[in-house]
């Protein structure tokens, strides 16, 4: 090989090596520049329903209440005499009127006792007549001097004893007649039969319950409450109750507060009178809240306050980023949110009025996370696109 050919080959090799080195250095320079450039951060998209503005609003402080419904007016028809049930014309669900005869007890024994009392009274009447005639005769004899005044005193005592015996016999007759009248089962109030506790042919004792009648025109809630909560409850306060079986809430008012506590539990019974409405039944369970106080306060929804740290805090939106704000809580209550009522809590410090706060449905975001507020239409389109994907 000639000399110039060797130099040509060496030069070509040097050029190839230099190109490779230059290419490697350029790639390394591009990688370093890319590493030095901060990554583009994409903000977290927030729909209008994900945030709430903390503003002063009318806070309704409430107290939870629950219990069973009970008719204000109810009555048991009881047996006033021990006898067999001869007839009973009503069953559960039947409507009755006050004074209506709904059944009859067997009167065979009562009739015999009445007849016995009448015969005893007749005998006592005869003995009284004899004693009166003897007294009159002895008075005439004393006037004529045939007997001493001591004999007259005996006749007077005999007549008084006969009079008392006759009075007792007459009272026994009246008592037997009353027992005969008590054998009729009469409704004491107007209402609906809720229980039939005896059957025809069954023998019942005195004061045995036979039928229960309830008047559903006036229904109230019986709620057992702790003594520390009853301090704020006053007669006349309004309440909203959710009753089993009813889609919408019912309104009620505190009618009475028991002055004594319940034995064992030390709870105080509070009675709430419900506004009349069709379908209410005794024994239904209801729960709701009593409105204790209304006042203006800076409040946010309860689910917007986070308690997974030592102090409660909220996630506010400040300059397009999430900011952790430690807050102090006050009273809890409810505010009207359209057709429904939302549970809120008062913020006494830590947040200014007008601040935008994330609701609890957003989840946990770190302090400083960028966020994007979407319009209503944009959030719907974003949701549709996500569904399509």
CATH number of domain containing 347: 2.40.30.170
Question: For residue 279, what pLDDT band results from cuts at 50, 70 and 90?
Answer: confident
Q: What share of the chain is helix, strand, coil (3-state, %, to 5)?
A: 35, 40, 25
Query: Does 239 lie in the same domain as 171?
Result: no
Mean pLDDT computed over 172-199? 92
Query: Does 223 lie in the same domain as 286?
Result: yes
With 70 as the cut, is the pLDDT of residue 381 above it?
no
* Domain end among 167, 196, 225: 196
pLDDT of residue 36: 55
Query: Does 224 lie in the same domain as 86?
Result: no
Q: Which ranges constitute the DSSP H helices of 199-276?
A: 227-230
pLDDT of residue 31: 66
Comparison of pLDDT for 224 and 378, the residue scoring more: 224
pLDDT of residue 42: 61
What is the per-residue burial (b if ≥16 Cβ within 10 Å, else e) of 305-323?
beeeeeebbbbbbeeebbe
Question: At 198, phi and psi to the nearest 5?
Answer: -145, 155
Query: Does 328 lie in the same domain as 233?
Result: yes
Give CA–CA dist 55/68, Å, rounded. 38
Least confident of 100-109, 113-122, 281-290, 327-336: 327-336
Query: Does 287 lie in the same domain as 271?
Result: yes
With 70 as the cut, is the pLDDT of residue 199 above it?
yes
**34 in any annotated domain:** no
Q: Which two tokens stand for residue 327?
A: 């807050």
pLDDT of residue 389: 39
With 70 as the cut, is the pLDDT of residue 184 above it?
yes
**26 in any annotated domain:** no
**209 in any annotated domain:** no
Query: Does 227 lie in the same domain as 341?
Result: yes
Q: Which residue has the tokens 């016999």?
A: 169
Query: Does 323 lie in the same domain as 176?
Result: no
pLDDT tens, residue by residue, 34-93:
555 555 446 688 888 888 888 888 777 788 899 999 999 999 999 999 999 999 999 999
Query: Does 369 lie in the same domain as 227?
Result: yes
**CA angle in degrees (0–180, nearest 5) for 354-372-375:** 80
Query: Does 187 lie in the same domain as 238?
Result: no
pLDDT tens, residue by residue, 283-316:
999 999 898 888 888 888 888 999 888 899 999 9
**189 in any annotated domain:** yes
CATH of the domain at 110: 1.10.287.470
pLDDT of residue 312: 92
Mean pLDDT for the chain overall: 84
pLDDT of residue 224: 93
With 90 as the cut, is the pLDDT of residue 155 above it?
no
Q: How many CB atoms lie within 10 A of CB 261?
A: 15
pLDDT of residue 270: 95
Q: How many domains does the chain have?
A: 2
pLDDT of residue 167: 92
**41 in any annotated domain:** no
Element (H, E) at 6: helix 3-36
Query: Does 372 lie in the same domain as 228?
Result: yes
* Domain end among 169, 196, 223: 196
**294 in any annotated domain:** yes
The SS3 call for residue 312 is coil
With 50 as the cut, is the pLDDT of residue 379 above it?
no
Q: Which domain holds residue 354?
A: 51-69+215-388
DSSP 362: G
pLDDT of residue 383: 43
In the chain, what percentage of residues exceed pLDDT 70? 85
**176 in any annotated domain:** yes
**30 in any annotated domain:** no
Question: For residue 11, what pLDDT band results from cuts at 50, 70 and 90?
Answer: low
Query: Does 244 lie in the same domain as 373?
Result: yes
Q: Which residue has the tokens 């410090």?
A: 349
* Domain end among 168, 196, 224: 196
Query: Does 176 lie in the same domain as 101?
Result: yes
What is the per-residue burial (b if ≥16 Cβ within 10 Å, else e) of 351-373?
beeebebbbeebeebeeebebeb
């Amino acid at each position: 090989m000639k000399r110039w050919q060797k130099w040509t080959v060496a030069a070509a090799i040097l050029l190839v090596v230099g190109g490779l080195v230059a290419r490697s250095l350029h790639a390394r320079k591009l990688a370093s520049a890319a590493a030095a450039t901060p990554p583009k951060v994409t903000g977290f998209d927030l729909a209008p329903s994900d945030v709430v503005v903390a503003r002063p609003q009318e806070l309704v402080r409430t107290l939870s209440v629950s219990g069973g419904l009970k008719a204000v007016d109810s009555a048991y028809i009881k047996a006033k005499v021990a006898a067999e049930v001869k007839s009973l014309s009503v069953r559960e669900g039947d409507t009755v009127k006050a004074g209506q005869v709904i059944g009859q007890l067997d009167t065979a024994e009562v009739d015999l006792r009445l007849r016995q009392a009448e015969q005893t009274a007749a005998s006592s009447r005869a003995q009284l007549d004899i004693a009166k005639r003897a007294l009159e005769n002895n008075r005439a004899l004393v006037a004529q001097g045939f007997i001493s005044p001591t004999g007259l005193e005996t006749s007077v005592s005999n007549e008084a004893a006969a009079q008392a015996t006759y009075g007792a016999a007459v009272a026994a007759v009246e008592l037997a007649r009353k027992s005969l009248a008590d054998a009729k089962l009469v409704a004491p109030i107007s209402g609906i039969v809720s229980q039939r506790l005896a059957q025809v042919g069954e023998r019942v004792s005195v004061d045995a319950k036979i039928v229960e009648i309830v008047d559903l025109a006036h229904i109230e809630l019986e709620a057992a409450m702790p003594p520390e909560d009853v301090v704020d409850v006053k007669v006349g306060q309004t309440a909203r109750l959710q009753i089993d079986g009813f889609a919408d809430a019912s309104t009620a008012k505190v009618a009475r507060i028991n002055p004594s506590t319940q034995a064992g539990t030390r709870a105080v019974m509070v009675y709430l009178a419900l506004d009349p409405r069709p379908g209410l039944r005794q024994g239904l369970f209801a729960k709701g809240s009593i409105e204790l106080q209304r006042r203006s306060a800076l409040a946010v929804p309860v689910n917007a306050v986070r308690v997974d740290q030592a102090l409660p805090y909220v996630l506010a939106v400040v300059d397009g980023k999430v900011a952790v704000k430690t807050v102090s809580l006050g009273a809890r209550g409810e505010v009207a949110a359209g057709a429904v009522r939302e549970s809120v809590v008062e913020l006494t410090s830590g947040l200014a009025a007008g601040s935008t706060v994330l609701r609890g449905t957003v989840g946990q975001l770190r302090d400083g996370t960028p966020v994007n507020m979407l319009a209503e239409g944009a959030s719907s389109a974003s949701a549709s696109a996500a569904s399509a994907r």
